[in-house]
């Protein structure tokens, strides 16, 4: 029977992994006539199916103040406890409003009970669920115990209570096997593994009149090789290894394009990367100010492109991440049939690599074998085409929409109303 399903998080907007995967879930749910509604502090969903509560955004000033009192501290003041409770009580009222306004019968909590970037929202959600017993799916992308900055805090009570909680009407979904095992060990909770997916049965968009000039906008010559680094510029992305790869290739036609901004970890890493590139004689070009989730013209009249536009023109993708919860950029490169160089981060090595993908891989550093393999990919069109076609077929089997469809139908069939 079709149901009204409420998605809850701090943000559903832009191109972060939570927002992207949530939209895919809603798309697949719609195939079975389930209607999705959205609750968050920042939204780009249609207003007629959404409830935007600014205080629910992790970047809201009140929540930012609370976070400054929590992380890296060993004691919290009475004032902090009071403000957590006050904000949680207000947010709980808005959750009641959301469920009543749209006649929600099931909730999908997207990472808001996983990583404690908004502690009051987590508390509000748990109290709301304990009071209503509404059936709930918790989709976990990255747990707090996976991030160094969340290791020291005076909120063990809230972490135990809500991140995540143990409630009988709640089911848990993780995106990799290690998370599944850690959740069972730390919290005694079983979970279903549903990897991130893409619709491999839908052809990618073509090069069109809008994006045909993107190489010129990047300042590339006709025979230049566009090497795309399709991630935020933060230390865990290991972008210094992409610079090392280009230095060792020794081909002046190779230009490394950074597609995203510096993220929430400051500009120091970006500055160090650019200094390294100058020292190594590698041409690195920042394009993060020209990429958005929607095409438009900025205030200067410049074209703003999407990440898809960049993928269409890429000759090689670099993905030397040190850690990823899953690895959306890997699937995106495969979807656009682009060769990709990957660092063997733990989830890739355990969950993805055994499927049989053919990609040049580094194991913590760029060695001669990786360089030779990348050079062959760039120099041998037939070899490159065989590789990307093989990878596409594998990804379609293991990471396509049918995998998500089966998982969601299983979850919805498991949930029993307790209201």
How much is the pLDDT for 418? 40
Residue-level pLDDT at 25:
98
The residue count for the chain:
419
pLDDT at 262: 82
Positions in the chain short of pLDDT 70: 263-266, 415-419
What pLDDT does 259 receive? 95
Predicted confidence at residue 417, as pLDDT, reads 44
Q: What local confidence, expressed as pLDDT, does residue 265 receive?
A: 61
Contact (Cβ atoms closer than 8 angstroms) between residue 332 and residue 198: yes
- Domains of the chain in sequence order: 4-197+401-414 (3.40.50.2000), 214-398 (3.40.50.2000)
pTM: 0.91
């Amino acid at each position: 029977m079709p149901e009204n399903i409420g998605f809850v998080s701090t943000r559903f907007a832009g191109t972060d992994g939570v927002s992207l995967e949530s939209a895919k879930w809603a798309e697949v749910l719609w195939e079975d006539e389930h209607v999705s509604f959205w609750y968050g502090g920042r939204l780009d969903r249609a207003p007629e199916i959404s409830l935007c509560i600014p205080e629910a955004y992790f970047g809201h000033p009140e929540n930012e103040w609370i976070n400054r009192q929590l992380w890296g501290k060993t004691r919290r003041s009475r004032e902090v406890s009071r403000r957590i409770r006050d904000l949680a009580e207000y947010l709980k009222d808005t959750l009641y409003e959301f469920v009543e306004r749209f006649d929600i019968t099931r909730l999908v909590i997207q990472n808001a009970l996983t990583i404690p970037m908004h502690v009051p929202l987590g508390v509000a959600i748990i109290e709301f669920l304990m009071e209503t017993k509404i059936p709930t799916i918790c989709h976990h992308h990255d747990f707090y115990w996976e991030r160094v900055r969340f290791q020291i805090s005076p909120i063990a009570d809230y972490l135990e209570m809500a991140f995540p909680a143990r409630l009988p009407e709640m089911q848990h979904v993780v995106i990799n096997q290690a998370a599944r095992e850690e959740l069972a060990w730390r919290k005694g909770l079983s979970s279903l593994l549903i990897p991130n997916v893409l619709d491999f049965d839908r052809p990618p968009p073509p090069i069109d009149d809008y994006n045909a000039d993107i190489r010129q906008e990047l300042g590339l010559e006709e025979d230049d090789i566009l090497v795309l680094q399709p991630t935020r510029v933060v230390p865990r992305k290991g972008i210094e290894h992409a610079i090392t790869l280009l230095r060792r290739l020794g081909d002046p036609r190779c230009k490394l394009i950074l597609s995203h901004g510096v993220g929430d970890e400051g500009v120091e890493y970006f500055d160090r990367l650019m200094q390294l590139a100058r020292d190594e004689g590698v041409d690195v070009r920042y394009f993060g100010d020209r990429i958005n989730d929607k095409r438009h013209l900025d205030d200067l009249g410049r074209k703003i492109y999407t990440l898809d536009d960049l993928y269409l023109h890429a000759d090689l993708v670099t993905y030397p991440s040190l850690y990823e919860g899953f690895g959306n950029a890997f699937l995106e490169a495969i979807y656009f049939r682009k060769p990709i160089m990957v660092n063997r981060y733990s989830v890739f090595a355990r969950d993805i690599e055994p499927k049989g993908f053919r990609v040049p891989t580094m194991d913590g550093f760029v060695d001669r074998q990786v360089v030779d393999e990348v050079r062959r990919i760039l120099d041998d069109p037939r070899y490159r085409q065989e590789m990307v076609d093989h990878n596409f077929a594998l990804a379609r089997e293991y990471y396509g929409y049918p995998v998500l469809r089966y998982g969601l139908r299983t979850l919805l069939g498991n949930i029993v109303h307790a209201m």
